[in-house]
Structures are given as C-alpha cells and as structure tokens.
A = this chain, B = another copy of it.
Amino acid sequence: MTDTRESGTRSRTRRAILAAAASVLARDRGATLAAIASAAQIGRSTLHRYFSDRQDLVNAAVVDSFRVVEQSTAEAAIDQGPPLEAMRRLIAALVDAGDRLAFLFGDPRVLEEFTDCFEPDLSVPTTVGLIERGQAEGVFDPGVSAEWIQQVLWALTYTGWEAAEKGLLPRHGVAAAVTRAFESGMVVSPAHS
C-alpha cells in the first residue's frame, strides 16, 4: 500500500511537507510555496524535489488529507454501534483532523475537482453510509438528503475548528459544541410554530 521503495528519510520529509501544506493552505489558500516550505522546516529546493509543480503539491495534499480523514473515520468505527454514538465518535475524529478537514472543506473548488477522479475505498465505511443507516433507523432526519446532512456535519466541524483558531471556543470544547449543534441545533424547546 504505502511506498516501500521510498527511504525512511524521504518518506518522513514527504509527510512533513504534506502536513505543512494542508495546515498552511487551510489558513491561506494563496500561500507561497516558500511559506509552505518554511512551515515544513525545509528549503524551497527540497520541496521542488518532492513535488515538481504547485498543482502537483496541492493534488498530493488533497489526496493525503483525504487519506488522513478517511483513516480517522475508519478508526471511529462508524459502521458499528448505534448511529448516534457512531456519529459522536466521528465528530470527535473529524475535529482531531481539523487541519486537514479545513483544508479540504475550505475551498469549494478543491473538492469538486477531485470527487470525479476519485474512486472511494470500498473497504472503508462511508460517512454517507452512516447517515443513511441512521436515517433508516429513524435517528437522523429522513426529511433531507444524506448529502445535505454530510455537508452540515462538515460545515459545523469546520466552524468549530475555526472558532478554536480564533479563540472563540476552547480547544477541548470543540467536539462537544459541534456535537450539540449537530444533534439538536440552537433552539432549546421543541419549536413548532
């Protein structure tokens, strides 16, 4: 699966670059390659040795971030247990991968360009799958599409990450705030006008 032909050093450097790219680009999409290299604590020349193009780097960062988020999702075991609890685990996992999610979610066009040429790993349970399971069990709102619920999930998670970034929320309270917002919204009493 992972490249066995790549030396340990190179592999480590590559990871550092991809992580830095996601982190920096999440906060500033127009960030310079020099800025990314600096964040990764490497020289700009070295960056070019790993990724010829800027586009090449962005592509790789997207794929890698996908992989990381997918990994987090997988570790949340969202295909097991009650959907509601699975969702809570998923939210916690997504918040932990905040940088990567912010990078993927932050730019509307990044995702679009890749949803086409991406064949999802079928061995990994999907977020939409969890949502549909929850809808079937009557836990998640069946009145809207699963994709919309997924969008809301990502948006809330991203917002929580951003709020923590700017100090609006404490780091340790993000997952709880997002979960609360996702599950019951912002209105206290059942409000039927």
- Report chain B residues within 8 Å CB of A147: 168
- Report chain B residues within 8 Å CB of A165: 108
Cα distance, A169 to B152, chains bound together (Å):
12
- Report chain B residues within 8 Å CB of A183: 185-187, 191
* B185 and A181 contacting across the interface, CB-CB below 8 Å: yes
Interface residues on A, range: 35 or more
The minimal Cβ–Cβ distance linking A74 to chain B, given in whole angstroms, is 22
- Report chain B residues within 8 Å CB of A27: 108-109
Beyond contacts A142-B188, A151-B162, A155-B159: 8 other A-B pairs, Cβ-Cβ < 8 A, are A27-B108, A30-B30, A108-B165, A139-B187, A140-B187, A145-B168, A152-B181, A184-B185
